[in-house]
Structure 1
Amino acid sequence: MASKAEDRKEPVNEQAVANMYAAMRSDLNQIYTKITELEMEVSEHSLVLNAIQPLDQSRRCYRMIGGVLVERTIKEVLPAVQRNKEGLEEVVARLNETLEKKKKEITEFETKYKIRMRKADAEVNDESGKKEGSAQGVLVGPAGVSE
């Protein structure tokens, strides 16, 4: 079977290559964002689990289900929160695999079309600009003094 990279049409010109590269980078950033968001969810689930595990299992607790606050016992809620946490961890693991594949795809694309980032050149130019800018300032004389 053909891979996704082979399914795509070959770019016609430099602009098409740049557009494809930008789209690939955008996809990569979206995956990073989603992973971060889901890792925060896992962290929140862990906090909840750590807070309710030592409590009495018959104690009342409230759980938000689809925007509705539902009263349950800790005994009922604890397994559900644990399952949700495990599900989120699985999704994060799959997204990490997808992220690695996407990184490899981008690296191959960069190699194929000889794409290089210009960060080093930009940083050198920015540093020289900062040195010049830091030497400049505004001189303010004492208030009320006129010539």
Structure 2
Amino acid sequence: MLSTSGLYFDLLNFERCGFVNVSLPLISFCYLQRPMASRAETSYKEPVNEQIVANMYASMRTELNQIYSKITELEMEASEHSLVANAIQPLDQSRKCYRMIGGVLVERTIKEVLPAVQRNKEGLEEVISRLNETLEKKKKEIAEFETKYKIRIRKSDSDVQDDSSRKEGSAQGVLVGPASSSE
């Protein structure tokens, strides 16, 4: 059976009140027809129970991971733009080159393409810097959320075993040649 503990008020975006009765199949509750504070005013409402806190935390972590992956993707693209610019810069400016525009391969000259590649690279770097600022804000928001709700991440048993095996083989990935003997 469903309860009227505020879920439907939130969904309807109304505040609770004792004046108007609304009956739905199996559910009866009261509300005042005045919209609640906008979502822009309150970024996250006070959670009701641990499960809601966990879900909010998971969604915040998902947003953080999405920002990380977008930054990585754009950094790779900016790196590719740098490689292209460095490869064609020393060449003759009237030399033909080909550029993909909207899925169509177009013949141009280096003189036409090089400024466009450099502009695109600068635009990518600007977007990356804005995303880094957003990332820092999101990290602070998550840290505040963790301290407010005393969230600690526990390592699973497999992670603990992985950590102990790393300590034993601390020189993993390092090749060492045979010891020279001085006789």
TM-score range for the pair, normalised by the shorter chain length: 0.7 to 0.9
Q: TM-score scaled to structure 2, two decimals?
A: 0.65
CA shift digits 1:4-53 (9 cap, x unpaired): 69432111000000000000000000000000000000000000000000
Greater Cα radius of gyration, structure 1 or 2: 2
Instruction: Select which of 76, 80, 93 maps to 1:57.
Output: 93
- Do residues 22 (structure 1) and 42 (structure 2) align? no
Match for 1:27: what amino acid? E
Partner of 2:72: 36
Report the counterpart of residue 144 of structure 1 in structure 2.
Answer: none
Distance 1:66 1:30, change over 3 A: same
Higher relative contact order (CA 8 A, sep 6+): 1
Q: Is the 8 A contact 1:5 1:105 kept in 2?
A: no
Report the counterpart of residue 67 of structure 1 in structure 2.
103
Evaluate the alpha carbon distance shift between residue 3 and residue 101 of structure 1 in structure 2; reply closer, same or farther with a 3 A threshold. farther
Please state whether the residue corresponding to 1:57 is helix, strand or coil. coil
Aligned residue in 2 for 1:86: 122
Deviation of the 1:99 alpha carbon: 0.2
Q: Secondary structure at the match of 1:7?
A: coil
- Where do 5+ consecutive residues of structure 2 fail to align? 1-37, 166-183
- How many percent identity over aligned positions? 79
Aligned positions, number: 128
Q: Which whole-Å deviations, capped at 9, do the CAs of 1:34-78 have from their partners, x for residues lacking one?
A: 000000000000000000000000000000000000000000000
Q: Report the secondary structure of 1:88's partner residue.
A: helix
Distance across 1 between alignment mates of 2:70 and 2:151:
26
Cα RMSD for the two superposed structures: 2.4
Specify the code of the residue in structure 2 equivalent to 1:77: V
Q: Give the counterpart letter for 2:129 in structure 1.
A: A
Matched, 1:45 2:81: yes
Q: Decide which of 104, 118, 143 is 2:154's aligned counterpart.
A: 118
Distance 1:128 1:43 in 2: 34
TM-score relative to the length of structure 1: 0.80
Q: Judging changes above 3 Å, is the alpha-carbon distance between structure 1 residues 128 and 54 closer, same or farther for their aligned structure 2 residues?
A: closer
Deviation at 1:96, TM superposition (A): 0.3
Cα distance between partner residues in 2 of 1:117 and 1:23: 15
Q: Which has the higher strand share?
A: 2
Would the alpha carbon gap of residues 19 and 9 (structure 1) be closer, same or farther in structure 2, given more than 3 Å must change? same
**Residue type at the aligned position of 2:128:** V
